[in-house]
Copies of this chain bind each other. A is one copy, B any other.
Amino acid sequence: MMRKPTIDDVAREAGVSKGLVSLALNGRPGVSAAARERIDAAAAELGWRPSTNARSLAMKRAYSLGLVVRRDPSTFEADPFFAAYVAGVESVLAAHGQVLVLSVVPDHETETQTYRRLIADQRVDGFLLTDLLESDPRIELIAGLGGRAVTLGRPQGESPFPAVTRDYASGIESLLTHLAELGHRRVAHVAGDENMQHARTRLERHREVADRLGLETVVEHTDFSPEQGMDATRRLLARPDRPTAIVYANDPMAFAGIAVAHELGLDLPGELSIAGMDGSDMGRFVYPTLTTLDNDPAGWGRASTQALLDLVERGQAADVPLPPAALIVRASTTAPTATA
């Protein structure tokens, strides 16, 4: 079996020095067209692929990006955002010959260690920061270690990293307008973990818009888990002034809400309208099918990866606003049945 061709083989074959091959490979200026041509031909003929390991050593680069997910498996399992997000990440990473290093950790301490280890060992060139907290310690941690990152959402404090953001105001407005037009007056909001950036903005937008539309709002707080989504739903449905519609800050809690409603024997969606906020595909396979906002996780994946690559490779990157989340009306929202 023949050994893998190296840059020396290509240089010899093309009759040039390996320095020149390097320049040509990286599309750098200062290589004559003729030389470039012979180099390309030689590389193609030998089937040469530059060694990532050698480049990494010389460049002090990993040519990979890191994603560290802290979650207990049960919550992670239900997360409809994740899969499509990673697919989006992959699509741009592959085009750049880079890879994604994924880590799933159970707790905060392991999380911190993981970031440290990945940076110290130069396993990644930057991090994708999902599940952003309002005041996220990872930003300081990574910046302090000399690492780079991009945030999904804009953190509260100062951040040296680019942020990818999506406007939820219009989506939530569409959703609540939709409910108001159906005749709902009491619309509850089951909020997520308020330390999390998107939980808080979703709740704030809900409050604002509901006020403007003259809707009565009750809020229940959770940690985004289906478990707490169930509890919140039970509390809401036990109220004397039971809401006729419940908006959940994510889809998994909405599914749990549907389960509770079934358990209580409510007629859905007549006796209770339900909406989620992740645009999950699973929403098409529950009864009734779930009204939600289209969150386009793959779009988040592509945008955040591109921004991070820009930062890593060009030293800077601008914030990226994603198109506003759009309303997806399915069967779980309808006019409330008149109650005696």
Contacts and interface: CB of A to CB of B under 8 A. Distances in A.
A296 to B, nearest CB: 11
Nearest to A59: B53
Given A104-B90, A259-B285, A73 B84 contact: yes
A143 interface: no
Contacts of A298: 73
A54 B55 CA distance: 10
Contacts of A227: 284-285
A195 interface: no
A92 interface: no
A26 interface: no
B105 A102 contact: no
A49 interface: yes
A53 B56 contact: yes
Contacts of A106: 87
A23 interface: no
12 contacts: A49-B120, A49-B121, A53-B122, A76-B87, A77-B82, A78-B281, A94-B110, A227-B285, A252-B285, A255-B285, A255-B286, A263-B288
Label chain A's interface by main secondary structure: helix
A259 B280 contact: no
Contact of A53 (B60, B110, B255, B286): B60
A226 interface: yes
A180 interface: no
A252 B52 CA distance: 39
A234 interface: no
A44 interface: no
A73 B281 contact: yes
Nearest to A257: B285
Nearest to A227: B285
Contact of A100 (B57, B101, B284): B101
The 3 closest A-B pairs by CB, nearest first: A259-B287, A262-B287, A76-B83
Nearest to A61: B53
Contact of A77 (B122, B255, B281, B287): B281
